[in-house]
Amino acid sequence: MSEKATNYAEAERKRADAELLLSFLDDIAPTVFAAIVFLSGAAMLGASAAPDFFQNRSLLRIIAPLPVIEASHFLSSVIGTLMLFVAAGLRQRLSSAWLLGVILLGAGAVFSLLSGGHYARVVASTVVMMSLAASRGAFYRQPGLREMNLSPIWIGAILLVIGAIAWLGFFSFEHFEYNNDLWWTFARDADASRFLRGIVTALVVFALFVAWRLMQLSGAPRAEAPPADIDTRVARVIAEGDAVSPDASLAFLPDKRFLFSESGKSFIMYGVHGRSWIAMGPPVGLASEARDLAWRFKALAHKFGGEIAFYSISESFLATALDLGLSVVKVGETAIVPLETFSLEGGKRSKLRQARRNLEKDGCTFEILPPEEVAENLPALKEVSDRWLAKHKGKEKQFTLGFFNLAYLSHFPVAVVRRGNEIFAFANLWIAPAAQGLSIDLMRYLPDAAPYGVMDSLIVELIMWGKENGYKTLDLGMAPLAGLERRRLAPLMSRIGALVFEQGGRFYGFEGLRQFKEKFQPQWKPLYLAASNRLDAAVALGRVALLTSGGIAGMLGGEKAGRD
C-alpha cells in the first residue's frame, strides 16, 4: 500500500474514532447537563432562600442599591425553580429546554452577582452556560416545554428540593421571632424576610408551572390534510408489496397518518394520542424496507417527544420490535382459516352444512359485489348497517376497524346475502394480493329479518368462494385477550388480560366471539403490542381503545361495531 493510501486510511480511522467519540458525548450530554442544571437550580434557590449559608459579603453587596439586591433575590428564586423544571427538558433533549437553560444560567450568573457578589457561583454558572451552549447538537427534539414529560418522580424531586431548602431556612432563622412584619421588611441584613419571600416564590412558580403544563396538549405535529392522491399511493403499495397483510386496507380510512419510505413503496399508518404514536400493524409494503422504516418512525416520534408502539403485530415483526428496544406483550389471537385444506365434510362441520342448506331453503343467494358496484347498492347496505347498529346500541368504530363509509367501502369487494333483490347481510373483504389472503372487515345483517344462521352461512360461502378463486387464507379477525396465560409466574398484564377475557362478558363478548370463530376450526395466530416498556404498553393499549372508539364516551357507549 502506498504512503498516500496509508495516510488516507489513517485519517479515515481517526475521523471514525472522532465521530464515535462525539456520538458518545451526545448520548451522555443530556443526562449530564440535566443533573448539573438541576443542582445549579437547587443551589441558586438555596442561596436565595437562606443567603447567610451561601453569600459572600463583597463590596458589590455593600454598594448595590437595596432595590437591586431585593429584586435579584426574588428573580433568583424564580430562575432557580424554573431550572429544576428545565433540567427535565434537557434530559429529554428538547431544543427549547436547551435555549431556556442557556438563558436562565446567564441570568442566574448576573443576579447572583447583583444579589451579593457570589463570585464562585457566577463563575460556575458561566462555565455551565458556555458548555451547554457548545452542546447544541445534542438537543434536537422540537417539542416546546409544554410537551415536556414531567414524571411524578421528577415532580417529587423538585418538591423534595424545595422542602429541604425550606427546612434549612427555618433552621437557619429559628432565632427570629415570627411576625407578619417579616414579610414586608426590606433591608440589607433582612435575610429572614428574603428567605420567606423566596420560598413562597418558589412554591408559587412550582404550582403555576405544573398547572400550565397539565393544561397543554400533545406535542405531536398537527395532522395535515392527506394529499389528493393518498388512496392511489396506498393502493399501489398494497398491490405491489411483498409484506402486506389484509388489514393493511385500514390505510384507506381517513383517520390515519402516514410515514412513507423514501421509495414510496412502503408505509407505516399510525395515530397519535397523547405522547403515544401508535402504528396500526407493522410496516406495509416491501419486506426489505420494513426495518429502516420502523427506525425512521421511532426517530420521528422521538423528535416530537413521543413514544412509539406497534399494535396488532405478528411473530414475523418481533425481531425488529426487539431491535427497536421495545417490550412485547400479547394482546390476543387472530383466526386464520386455511382455505386449501378446508372442507365441509365430517361431523364437526355438520352445523355449517346445515346453515348453508337453510340459506338455500329460504331462497337466499350469495353474491360478491365488485368495488365498482358498491355505490349503486349503498342505500340497501346502509339500511342493513343502521339497523344492525341500532340493535347493538353501538356506534361506528375506527382506527383498528373499518366503518360504514362509501369512499372507504368502494375500495373493496362486498359479499352480500340476498333474497330476491333485498340484501339481508353483507361483509366487505380486505385482500392481500401477494399473500393471496382474504380478511373480513365489517359484518352486518338485519337483526330482525335475516334468516337464522345467516352470518355462519355467509362465512362458509366466502370460504368456498375464496378457495375456488385461488386464495390461501381467510382471516376472521382478532379475538381480543384470547390465549393469554393466567399462570402465577405469567406477566401481570397477561394475567389481568386473561381474567378480563373470562369475566368481562358483561361489557364485551370476549369468549363468545372466540367461540363463534372456533366453528370454522381456524388456526389461531398470536398478535402482539410492542411498546417502550411494560407501563407504556398498558398506556398504549388504553389509547388504542380510545382511538378505536373515538374517545371515552365511545368506549363506554356500546358494543363494538366491527368484525364481531
Q: Where along the chain do its domains lie?
A: 3-214
Which whole number is the average pLDDT over 144-164? 83
On the question of pLDDT at 491 being above 70, the answer is no
pLDDT reading at 294 higher than 90: yes
For the chain, what is the mean pLDDT? 80
3-class SS at 254? Answer: coil
Q: Round to whole Å and give the CA distance between 336 and 216.
A: 44
Cell numbers placing 286: 416491501
The angle, 0 to 180 degrees and rounded to 10, between the axes of the packed helices 454-468 and 350-361 is 100
Q: What does the pLDDT read at residue 141?
A: 73
Instruction: Tell me the residue ranges of DSSP E strands in 393-466.
Output: 414-419, 422-432, 437-445
**Mean per-residue pLDDT, 465-491:** 75
Stretch 347-368: mean pLDDT: 84
| Range 470-475 average pLDDT | 92
Q: Please state, in angstroms and rounded to a whole number, the distance separating the CA atoms of residues 437 and 167.
A: 69
Please determine, for residue 563, whether its predicted confidence score (pLDDT) is greater than 50: no
Amino acid, single-letter form, for residue 423: I
* Closest alpha carbon to 331 in 481, 198, 120: 481
Q: How many CB atoms lie within 10 A of CB 282?
A: 24
What is the C-alpha separation between 478 and 336, in angstroms, rounded? 9
Q: Is the pLDDT of residue 236 over 90?
A: yes
Only one residue has cell 365430517, namely: 346
Helices 119-134 and 3-49: angle between axes, nearest 10 degrees: 140
Q: What global pTM score does this model have? A: 0.67
- What is the model's pLDDT at position 560? 41
